[in-house]
DNA sequence: GAGAATATACCCGATAATGGGTATACCGAC
DNA sequence: GTCGGTATACCCATTATCGGGTATATTCTC
């Protein structure tokens, strides 16, 4: 019997998956959740063999939840089920320990295929996903290191709030020129140039995956 | 026989809805589509009684598609099926002619209830939706008028791309001072003040519904 | 120890965005 | 015709953001 738990903030999708698996021989849904934290409780209590995991969810996202599950239940198979097809989304779920990755714009029966594949110890990825992303070396080469230092990241967050360098200097107890030097360093590292580019970058980054 | 067409860019959701309706007496799915434009072809060819309509879709969004359907087939019932719970999303679908609005984080069987309700000439809205939004007077009062003029809106779009006033002036064949005057007018109308606020506003507005 | 990165702080100059105004011309509503 | 809004164009001053540098001190890795 393959026990399955599902985490997905859209209840309509959970219901769809449930309908799909309801009559499947050998598969049993032992719990569903609309957020990552609730899911952990379910996994700890019921210890499903397979978890279908959305990424963007309230309270705890699928990436973090997967890491935690892998630490406590290393034999549980996590299959990502997400609208995100960006490389970084795939890589992060892979690194967290997911054994599969399905896109929401694929047919629902992909989930069934993925469940059977991971139960056979295989890795299952959607045809819309670059298959090389599940290769260790390729994924590692693709993972951007954070080019910004801790201070730089903090300053960038303040810039995203349109704080002036003077205001940021007050907040951080440094000279204005120090903040401006950090700004210059970030411009160089991020390959930006021109007025407003750093502010634009900081604001837009908020909405990136 | 209630004929139903579905437009939704996530195929997994279409499959879930199909599973739900498959065994329903008196309901028949006559077509599905992953984008608004393809859906129009289906509606023109098959003339379903009910359309389940996502909002954010490629090629043609659900709001526009609904308007077009209402113009050509005024007796067709459109039910919105969306992740957006913002008032403006609901109001715009309502204004486009939708007779129902279901949220994706509701149980899938809400769709069944909505189909039967609209076929009885009723309006069906998700319990997560402010029920007053389907009242004409309330919706009208809630619809913000655009405070910006046509030129102002165009300039704001260019500002969102971090174009300088000088660049915008070149694009629009005006003097730089004209662009700056427009900027001042927008600052006043939007109640903004200080450097970078207009750029910040322009960029953030892009991601609003 | 050497080298690189980070953090702190300063110098200078150019320019773009505000914030405060001025004005005229045109259009639409009343 | 009057009024208000929009569009066009200009004046001025201030200041924040770059872009180009300078320097020292500290920390980490090899």
User: What does the pLDDT read at residue B162?
Assistant: 92
Phi-psi region for residue A84, left (φ > 0), alpha (ψ -120 to 50) or beta? beta
- Mark whether A17 and A106 lie in a shared domain: yes
pLDDT at A168: 93
- Tell me, rounded to whole angstroms, the distance of Cα B36 from its chain centroid: 11
Q: What is the pLDDT of residue B145?
A: 66
Chain B residue at shortest CA distance from A112: B12
User: Among residues of chain B, what percentage have pLDDT more than 90?
Assistant: 65
Are B7 and B89 members of one domain? Answer: yes
pLDDT of residue A206: 59
Domain boundary at A142, A158, A192, which?
A: A142
Q: Domain boundary residue among A121, A142, A163?
A: A142
Residue B209 has pLDDT above 60, yes or no: no
Q: Are residues A18 and A63 in the same domain?
A: yes
What Cα–Cα distance (Å) separates residue B115 from each residue in B2, B133, B155, B183?
9, 19, 44, 48
Residue A8, pLDDT score: 95
* CA distance, residue A199 to nearest chain B CA (Å): 8
List the single residue in A12, A102, A164 with the smallest CB-CB distance to B107: A12
Among residues A193, A162, A15, the alpha carbon closest in space to that of B196 is found at: A162
pLDDT tens digits along B152-176: 989 998 999 999 999 999 999 999 9
- Residues 173-192/A with CB < 7 A to strand D: 180-181, 183-184, 187, 192
C-alpha to C-alpha distance for A38 and B52, rounded to whole angstroms? 31
Please check the confidence at residue B207 and state whether its pLDDT lies above 60. no
Same domain for A66 and A126, yes or no, is yes
Query: Whole-angstrom Cα distance, residue A77 to residue A70?
Result: 9
- Rounded CA-CA distance B126/B136 in Å is 18
| Shared-domain flag, residues B120 and B155 | no
Does B106 lie in the same domain as B55? yes
Within this chain, do residues B120 and B190 fall inside the same structural domain, yes or no? no
A152 CB contact with strand C at below 7 Å: yes
B123-161 pLDDT tens trace: 998 888 877 777 776 666 666 667 788 899 899 989 999
Q: How far lies A162's CA from each of A50, A100, A155, A168, B209, in Å?
A: 45, 40, 11, 10, 22
Listed residues B108, B123, B142: the one ending a domain: B142
What would the pLDDT profile of B59-95 be if each residue is shown by its tens digit?
Answer: 788 988 999 999 999 999 999 999 888 877 888 888 8
What's residue A114's pLDDT?
95
Contact B10 A207 (CB under 8 A): no
Q: Closest to A199 (Cβ–Cβ): which among B17, B106, B196?
A: B196
Reported as a single tens digit per residue, the pLDDT across B174-206 is 999 999 999 999 999 888 889 999 999 998 876
A125 shares a domain with A90: yes
Does residue A198 reach within 7 angstroms of strand D, measured from its CB?
A: yes
Q: What is the CATH number of the domain that holds A179?
A: 1.10.10.10
pLDDT of residue A81: 96
Same domain (yes/no): A187, A126: no
A190 and A103 fall within a common domain: no
Task: State mean pLDDT over B44-66.
Answer: 91
Percent of chain B at pLDDT exceeding 70: 93
Residue B20 parent element (H or E):
helix B11-21
For A32, the 3-state DSSP assignment is strand
Number of domains in chain A: 2
Nucleotides of chain D in contact with protein CB (under 7 A) are 5-11, 15-23
Cα atoms in the 13 Å half-sphere on the side-chain side of A101? 28
Q: Are residues B116 and B134 located together in one domain of the fold?
A: yes
Token readout for B188 is 């006043």
Residue A53 belongs to domain with CATH number: 3.40.50.2300
Task: Spell out, as residue ranges, where chain A has pLDDT lower than 50.
Answer: 207
What ipTM score was computed for the predicted complex, to two decimals? 0.68
Sheet (strand B124-125) strand order = B27-33, B2-7, B50-53, B77-82, B100-103, B124-125
Contacts of A179 (CB under 8 A, 6+ apart): A155, A165, A166, A168, A169, A172
Determine how many CB atoms are found less than 10 A away from the CB of residue A65: 27
**Are B131 and B42 part of one and the same domain?**
yes
Per residue in A55-80, pLDDT tens? 988 878 898 899 899 989 999 999 99
Q: Parallel, antiparallel, or unpaired: how do β-strands A77-82 and A100-103 relate?
A: parallel
Interchain contact, B10 vs A109, CB within 8 Å: no
Q: Which domain, by its residues, includes B57?
A: 2-142
pLDDT score for A144 = 62
Distance CA A160, CA B194 (A): 14
């Amino acid at each position: 019997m393959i026990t399955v738990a599902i985490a997905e903030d859209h209840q309509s999708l959970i219901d769809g998956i449930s309908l799909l698996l309801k009559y499947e021989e050998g598969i049993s849904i032992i719990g569903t959740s609309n957020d990552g934290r609730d899911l952990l409780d379910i996994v700890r209590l019921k210890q499903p063999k397979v978890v279908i995991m959305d990424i963007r969810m309230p309270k705890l996202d699928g990436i973090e939840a997967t890491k935690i599950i892998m630490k406590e239940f290393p034999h549980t198979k996590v299959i990502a089920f997400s609208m995100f097809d960006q490389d970084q989304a795939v890589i992060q779920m892979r690194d967290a320990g997911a054994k599969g990755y399905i896109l929401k714009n694929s047919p629902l029966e992909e989930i069934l295929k993925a469940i059977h594949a991971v139960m056979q110890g295989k890795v299952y990825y959607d045809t819309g996903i670059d298959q090389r992303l599940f290769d260790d070396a390729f994924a590692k080469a693709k993972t951007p290191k954070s080019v910004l230092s801790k201070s730089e990241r903090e300053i960038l967050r303040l810039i995203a709030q349109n704080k002036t360098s003077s205001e940021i200097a007050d907040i951080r107890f440094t000279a204005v020129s120090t903040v401006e030097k950090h700004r210059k360093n970030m411009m160089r590292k991020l390959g930006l140039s021109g007025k407003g580019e750093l502010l634009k970058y900081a604001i837009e980054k908020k909405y990136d995956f």
